[in-house]
Structures are given as structure tokens and as C-alpha cells.
Amino acid sequence: MATLSVSEPQEMEVDRRGESEESGDDETKRKSLNGEVDLQQASTGDSLLILYPNSPEESPVDMDTITLDPNEEDVDLVHCRIGKIEGLEVLQKAKTLSLRQNLIKRIENLESLVLLRELDLYDNQIRKLENLHALTEIEQLDVSFNLLRKIEGLEQLTKLKKLFLLHNKITNITNLEHLTDLRMLELGSNRIRIIENLDTLSTLDSLFLGTNKVTQLQNLDGLHNLTVLSIQSNRITKLEGLHNLVNLRELYLSHNGIEVIEGLENNKKLTTLDIAANRIKKIENISHLSELQEFWMNDNQIENWSDLDELKNAKGLQTVYLERNPLQKDPQYRRKIMLALPSVRQIDATFIRF
């Protein structure tokens, strides 16, 4: 494997729970009380260690100093201070190429890597999606934590199944209509205001739009195969537009401005419902969600114990979060939840001991 010895970068602990599981790191988590990616916040629980983004004082290395193996299929050039993509023509057999955490400013000189299936450009300084037309076999592309302002240049990547564009400066969802095999789309931590132009992505399984500026759940009708929808930390005030998502299993809407639980009549396959940190006063309109396993309702305004009756049909319910609601002031808080919902094994962050 191609490697380069560099000084050890400084580490920090970051809460990345609002992202997709596969974006950036395989261990990242979706479930979150905070959908934001905070590079200054140290947290515990589902947090993980990542490296500091490249500091401006770093200087690029010459690619001639890096030894490349022509027979290598999985090429790992992480944090090598690479400033320009060049000299990779020898990697004719490469199927995966990781160039994350470098100093790359432009996507270029990849035309000869026609067997490439995965390309990782996470945490660089790239401003434009370009020069990818020859990579027609690519199935996974990660250009998260860069400086992109527009989705473009993907017209030839028709075999793409996973696209990660987390934490850029993208304002509009555009130029995706030809990616008809796409299964996962991660657009969290951008500047998107409107959900749009997803009609042709009928095979899409997971959609992540956390930490944007979305005000309305709309234009999702064509996503019949969607099982995971995450729109945490946006500006949504109404639960709507989900009636066609009959295969939806996980819905994450924490940190919005939702006031009423509604519009979930057709989402009977939901196993996880996260509506924490909204403005909800009553648990209602979810008695038909009999497959629920996790219910996140913390940081709302629930005050009536009778509301828990809405969850009694969910015989497999394992986890309930209700902390920081008026209910929690009751001295018998945990005991009452256990009596009302006997299948529950975890209340807030604490497992039940028998």
C-alpha cells in the first residue's frame, strides 16, 4: 500500500452523531440529540476521534517522495500533505483510492484509473466537482469537508451508489437526475433551503440533510424506497410530505420547530422516530406505529402521563427518551415509564436494571 511517513497530527474528540454512518468514518452515528457537526465541541457517548482539518501553515509534499505500488488495489494516501493529484497513472489496478485529509485544491489527473470503484477526497480544499468523467465504474464518492458550492460534473458516474458531500457550501440540490442507481445521499451541513430535484432517484435508500436551512418537508414523493430520512437541525415547523414514503424505517427530525406530531399515517414501518428538541406538547397520532423500537422525544413540552398510551401498540419498543420534558419532574418518572411501557429496556441514556 502506498504510504508516507509524516508527523503525527493533533487529535480531538468530536460529536458526529448527526451524520450518516458511513460519511467520513464507518463508526459515525445517526441518532442524535444534536444534529450539528461541531468541530470545537468535545463530547462523550457516540463520539469518536478525528484529526484536525488541515492547518493553513502546512506545505504540500512532492508526489515523487511517495512510493506507489502498481499492483495495489486499495490505495491509502491519508494525511500525506499532497497538494496536487498527479503521478497516479501507475495505479492501473486500483479499485479504491483514499486521498482524505490532504491539501488538494483540484480534482485532476484521474483519467487513467478506470477501474476505480471508490474515491475518497474527504477534508481537502476542493472548490469544484470536475474531471471525473472517465471514472464510469465508480460506486462511492466522498468529497465531504471541502469548499464546494455546487453539485456538478457527475453526469458520467451513472453507477454511483453512495455520494457524500457533507460539510461544504452547497446551496441547491441539482444535477443528480442521472444518478438513478444512487442508494445513499449525504448533504448534511451545507446551505440548502429547499428539498428538490430528487424525483428520479427512485432507488434512494438513505437521505441525510441535517444542519441545513430547510423550512419544509416537500418533493419527496418519488422516493418510494427510502428507509432512512435525516433532516435534523433545520427550520421545519410542520410534519408533512411523507405520505408516499411507505418503506420509511428511520426518521430523524430533532432540533427543528415542529409543534404537532402528524402526517405519519402511511409510515407504518417506522422503527425509529426521533423528534427530540422541538416544540411538541402532546404525544399523539402515532398509535398505529406498532413496529417502533426507538422513540426520541426529549427536550419537548410533554406533561401528561396519559400520552404514553400512544406507544402501547409498539410491543417491541426498546428505547424511550423523555428527559427534559415537564414529565421528568415527577419523582416516579422512571417507574411510571416502566409501568406504562413494560417492553422498554432503556430510558433516556440509562438501561433498566432488573
Q: Where are the beta strands (DSSP E) in 183-271?
A: 184-186, 206-208, 228-230, 250-252
Rg (CA), the chain: 22
* pLDDT value, residue 21: 57
Domain with CATH 3.80.10.10 in the chain: 1-198, 236-354
Q: What is the distance between the terminal CA atoms of the chain, rounded to a whole angstrom?
A: 50
DSSP code, position 135: -
Q: What is the pLDDT of residue 231?
A: 98
Q: Which three cell numbers stand for residue 172?
A: 441547491
CA distance linking residue 102 with residue 226, whole number of Å: 34
Q: Name the class of domain 1-198.
A: alpha beta
Tell me the average confidence (pLDDT) per consecutive run of 10 residues in the chain, 354 residues long: 40 41 46 38 35 60 86 94 94 96 96 97 98 97 98 97 98 97 98 97 97 97 97 98 97 98 98 98 98 98 97 97 97 96 96 88
Distance CA 24, CA 143 (A): 9
Q: Domain 236-354's class?
A: alpha beta
Instruction: Check residue 110 and report its DSSP letter.
Output: -
* 158 neighbors 178 (Cβ within 8 angstroms): yes
Which pLDDT does position 320 carry in this prediction? 98
